Structure 1
Amino acid sequence: MSIPPPPESQGPSTPYNPYAPPPEDAPGTPQPQPPYGAQPQSPYAPYPQDPQPPYAPYGPQPYQPWNQGYSPYNHPAPLNGMSVAALVLGILCCVPGAGLVLGLIGLNQTGKRGERGRGMAVTGIVLSAFGLVLWAFGVAGAASGFFDDVETGGGSSASASPGKGQCFDAPSGSLEGMAYDFDVVSCAGEHDGEVFAVVRLSGGSYPGDKKVTATADDRCYALQDSYAMDGWAVPDDVDIYYVTPTEQSWSLGDREITCVFGNRDEEAGLPGGSLRNDASTLDADQVAYLKAAHVLNAALDSAPDAQYVEDDLPGHKAWAGRVSAALTAQTALLEGRQWPDAAAKPVADLVKDLRKAQRQWAKAAGAADADEFYGHYDKGAELIDPHLSVTARKALGLATTPPPYEEDDGSGDSGGGDTGLEV
């Protein structure tokens, strides 16, 4: 678009410019000729063939041409509405999906139409994408509540699985079957379960129900003593439950096994009060005694699977050797500590019995046949009878009621399986 010349002035003429061409209609004025081979050029004509504009000015020019029309000021491009909407939705994070879509549309339109708002569109896209990520994590967290019951129970929290030391209620009132959420409650009142350990699994693909079940069974039963160090203080009707991830929740990032104390009757609950008794609730002498006792208990729990000694004499002899070594370690721990005056003599008397038991278990480990094994096993078992430790426990302020001896039917005097001995 050409710029129109200023209106003709009635005042003085343009000052003399020796380099300005004279008017074409001046009589007798020679016209300059272009060099050889060149075409005449107009200062405003982009191509040689264009005709001379009717008002081609000469001399000093009062205005410079503008790209967007005849105006001494450049009007700003319009603001893109999609970009504005994307920015608002991105800041509010109320509808992150809509904010992301509007931001992409606005970004495209600003490029095609030359409109302003590109920065707004980019900011809206970033904020909306962040909002979508938070929303996705929220969905994954809720979906992680889809835990599967393995063997005896299961559940999860609607917001997060209960942590170690927390008590909860199952909305269904049962720790059996599928559970979709946990209601965390105070341990002071009645509750359905108490979490005593959380095990984190690893791996990319789901290992399968059987492997997850086996892992939960092994880890939860091994970890119960670290939370409830004094097994005698755990009520007889308390059992171990655990919650494991399903294949579906695994795909959403669930990798936790939750180990839980609950009532043996899955429809019943636990009375008020936490079952936790560890270094956070016990004194140093109590912890030292229980740590020594756990050395022997771990060895006793490693009995072979064979029900009768005759079925696996080498396995039972190896087990007796582990018990003998544990008794040696236990007596060393008990003798190596300075006990309070009230507990010094009861602990010393207990150590004497443990030393006698160690010799019998060592002889059982070297038995030539099953009959010889039984003879030494019976004597050794009598010397580590739980009732022999009641006096020392009472002096230390620990529980004094031994847990019941649960013997498998038909086990006889085999010595295999669960011995029921715990000091």
Structure 2
Amino acid sequence: MTSEGTQKTQLLPALRSKNYRLFFAGQGISLIGTWMTQLATIWLVYSLTNSPLMLGVVGFTSQIPSFFLAPFGGVFVDRFSRYRTLIGTQIMAMIQSLALAVLALTGVIQIWHIIALSLFQGFINALDAPARQAFVPELVERREDLANAIAINSTMINGARLIGPAIGGLLIARVGAAYCFLIDGLSYIAVIAALLAMKVKPWRFSVARGNPLQQVREGFVYAFSFPPIRAILLLSTLVSLMGLQNTILVPIFAEDILKGGAETLGFLMAASGVGALSGGIYLATRQTILGVGKLIALAPTILGVGLIGFSLSKFLPLSLFAMLFVGLGTILQIASSNTFLQTIVEEDKRGRLMSLYTMSFLGMIPLGNLMGGVVASHIGAANTLIIDGIACIIGSVIFYRQLPALTKIVLPIYEQKGIVKSVR
């Protein structure tokens, strides 16, 4: 290996693992298509209906299955091969995107089609998200590389979040939303091929104790009886419920407040992606898990300030600047919380804990989307985001006050697992 390659693996040690490199390459391509589809969907919905409420409804249907089904998805992930599960979910997601493309290209697409296919995608995500989160530890050959792998994942997601909307906005303006759906469907070929190219150890089937409902209950008891995990899940719930409503309200700002079009929407989403990518790169280059609690505490404040600034702006450059902070705060919250939970969880409960994290994150977004759409239709999108920003800042302050007590509980676990040397 060249000295340059050695430096890269020292800086990004997770890339030493071949399976992780394959995962990184496949996901990197596919996620660009996913973000293009997300942008195209909200633009198409607003074009068809001109309704903030319908934006909320579509956002609700796409992710509400995660709220109800993620805990059972976690039980499934703890009992069956995560590798084979992911291959299945990626094939189904490809079919969903190609169905959207066919309907849009033939010009017959209606709002109920979008709602039905969004609901189908939600069912896929309820199983895919916990499987994906729990599969990452199987991809790295060294346990100490896990935190770096999770941080690289976040960087990859938000690199796609930067590139995808920018390309999507241009494509929508030039040739229409249908081609975004088509490219997304074809991009799944890359991740499926990467998964099939991996050499994965045979899955060790664990003996299940109790029925699925009992296992779901065991996961809840484990998570909520441990104060650090409980605090992380509650803060994640608040941020997802309030802080991420901006994702379905941005088209209103792009068209009605900033007097732009699809390209403006793409620029706003890309600006959020730049902030998120910056945060992801910072997390990927951190050398220690210590201090992650302070990042989790700070992130909602950054997000809240960005939301308030964006809601007050009527000038595109200022709006783009505010969206940088929205993206930065969002990724610091999501990735830092994920890193923390993956680091301390007991292995036999990993799938169930990550399903609860999925429930607190993805599962609460639909409720937030629906609430945001209803509130925005009554008091306006700008006032809605101001309320959201204030709620995030309050949550940040409450968590920060709990942090010293939570840190005392967590440090001995880090020592026991050998993640850090003695920190006493």
* Fold in common (TM above 0.5): no
TM-score by length of structure 2 reads 0.26
Bigger proportion of residues as strand:
1
Bigger proportion of residues as helix:
2
TM-score by length of structure 1 reads 0.26
Q: Who wins on radius of gyration, i.e. which is larger?
A: 1
